[in-house]
A and B are shown apart, each in its own frame.
Chain A
């Protein structure tokens, strides 16, 4: 049975697409056949980050409308043959997505894939609703700032009450926290919320902390998910996230600033 993961946040620009690309690649690299779907109709971002924008012929909406079948629309990743991308349409508007249409596509994908990663658009409107509706697991991407935390909280409420699992009274969606763009120096100086602050408000299972890192931009410019940059901090952090999601225990990293780390080492504080 396929597991459907939604990568969601409420707030825009927090790192959903970066995360979707990284974890989809991570899961595929570990031998799980994975599809990643761009729900951000009208914007189309995922294919750029995956570096397959020049190979897009058909998109998600073509498949929903029956203008193309899934095999025609799915793009096989250039780095990993277990990873497939279903791009969003740039030319349609959001209303082209329907709950039945999305359900049909996911059902068909579920026959052939082990993991289906849904990259949600920002907001709590239709696109975000459809991206989370069929999910089994949710990666709630949050930045360490008040407005992002508040939006994540809002999204968690929607996951708990509006999803298919909620409507059918099934076991609820499993919710995981992904704290991204974490900058320990700015946390220490009080410019950003700390992990503890965020957890006090959200109290969620923490899947990982992704540090603020130049490697993310470099990777996205190169059209390669950052997880493939195995030496970068963000790449390592995403690899940890995938491992933890698959059940491995790994200590959390990248929480402390270099300064704080040294202080701790020498017993200060």
Chain B
């Protein structure tokens, strides 16, 4: 064994650190009623089981703490795990909550521990803030903000938007753009475009020049092989109709 390790050491590096960006859901807790939380969480997750299965979650308890409702973080985390979600971090907790989280090996996001930019959180909450008092969890937060790109998307680059994605520049062959919502490309689309990647079958792709390697809506796709007959330089929209991807000229 040790011989192998040494050999490996000589040949190539054993490990490497890289920084990456991931998309993680933030679960904002507004109530300390564990039973209500469980009920609402089960309701929410049953609506999109594939999406939520083993999904990593960041817990946000800041608002709860602002209302001075204490909560037992250990119980909360165990509850969330029992539903099949994976808490991978906590933010907005007080010292004791952070300690509790740490005892379960849940990392604490210190940058969010005290009251800071309320605005940022507000932005990501999608349902109306005047929710009734019955509403325990306002929303499993999936940002619906629109992402706007105005630099060319080059080969090898990937873009993921949790809402709609608007691209003003070209998307090169070998690039990949993905959105949970709609995709608009006001230029030539040569790469891969995937809309509705979390299953939204109403998502559409719009582009002013379709020369794509692949287009997909909610997992239904066509490759460039299927797109051979599309006239280039014509604005089109792509949508799902009865399980079929329809490509239609816009004008």
Contacts and interface: CB of A to CB of B under 8 A. Distances in A.
Interface of A: 124, 150, 153-154, 156-158, 160-161, 172, 200-201, 203
9 nearest CB pairs, A to B: A157-B154, A153-B155, A154-B155, A157-B157, A154-B156, A156-B154, A153-B172, A157-B156, A153-B154
Interface in B168-221: 170, 172-175, 188, 190
Interface of B: 151-157, 170, 172-175, 188, 190
Contacts of B174: 150, 153-154
Overall SS of chain A's interface: helix
B172 A201 contact: yes
Overall SS of chain B's interface: loop
19 contacts: A150-B173, A153-B154, A153-B155, A153-B172, A154-B156, A156-B154, A157-B157, A157-B172, A157-B175, A158-B156, A160-B151, A160-B152, A160-B154, A160-B157, A161-B157, A172-B151, A201-B190, A203-B152, A203-B170
Contact of A154 (B154, B188, B190): B154
Nearest to A95: B13
B152 A150 contact: no
Nearest to A153: B155
B183 to A, nearest CB: 19
A189 B20 CA distance: 46
A161 B157 CA distance: 9
B150 to A, nearest CB: 12
B155 A157 contact: yes
Contact of B152 (A124, A156, A200): A156
Interface centre among B151, B175, B188 (most CB of A within 10 A): B151
A203 B154 CA distance: 11
Given A150-B173, A150-B174, 18 more contacts: A124-B156, A150-B155, A153-B174, A154-B154, A154-B155, A154-B156, A156-B152, A157-B153, A157-B154, A157-B156, A157-B157, A158-B156, A160-B152, A160-B154, A172-B151, A200-B188, A201-B173, A201-B190
Nearest to A175: B152
Contacts of B151: 160, 172
A150 B172 CA distance: 9
Nearest to A156: B154
Contacts of A200: 188
A153 B155 CA distance: 6
A112 B157 CA distance: 37
Contacts of A201: 172-173, 190
Contacts of B170: 203
Contacts of A203: 152, 170
A42 to B, nearest CB: 16
B169 to A, nearest CB: 9
Interface centre among A153, A156, A161, A201 (most CB of B within 10 A): A153
Contacts of B172: 153, 157, 201
Contacts of B155: 150, 153-154, 157
A153 B174 CA distance: 9
